[in-house]
Structure 1
Amino acid sequence: MVKSVRPRERTLSLEEKYARLEAKTRLLEAENELLKKRDLLERQLMKKKHKRNTPKIRIDPTNDSNLSVKATSVPPI
């Protein structure tokens, strides 16, 4: 990442450097949590999508000849 920032006119004190590092750490932690939530939502969406496209199997109890099985597919959305 390239930054186009003017050079500082003064040097930062240790306390200022520490405060900046803490702020950067909090920002990165928040970004990490956001990415985790996004990944979780994507996995849930994929699971729902996979579940919808899975064929349903129904047993016809009216037919006594070895309980024939009818497979019906769910139309895509």
Structure 2
Amino acid sequence: MNTDDEARLVRLEELVAHQQAAIEDLSRQLSDSWKADERLRAELARLIDMFEDIEDGATAPPANQKPPHW
């Protein structure tokens, strides 16, 4: 191999190494995002359950009932 081919091969190997590092970093970020998404969904479900329990326990007058001063 001549020096031009060797230099080209080195550049390609460097490019592949950089791309591999970038892919691994993006994969880690995606995994972290999925974990955060799952955690937030669980928290949202817990809050929804809490609010539904509060609504069920509340004694609100019926929606069509006139106020007492009428």
1:35 corresponds to: 25
RCO (CA 8 Å, sep 6+): is it higher in 1 or 2? 1
Bigger Rg, structure 1 or 2: 2
Within a 5 Å distance, the mapping from 1:4-43 to structure 2 comes to 13-43=3-33
Q: TM-score, normalised by structure 2?
A: 0.60
In structure 2, distance between residues paired with 1:31 and 1:20: 17
Percent identity between matched residues is 7
Matched residue type, 2:4:
L
Aligned residues, how many?
55
In structure 2, distance between residues paired with 1:66 and 1:16: 84
Runs of 4 or more consecutive aligned structure 1 residues displaced over 6 Å after TM superposition: none
**Structure 2 unmatched runs, 5+:** 63-70
Q: TM-score, normalised by structure 1?
A: 0.55
Shift of 1:14: 1.6
**Structure 1 unmatched runs, 5+:** 1-11, 68-77
Structure 1 vs Structure 2 CA RMSD: 2.6
Show CA shifts across 1:17-37 (max 9, x none). 110110110111111111111
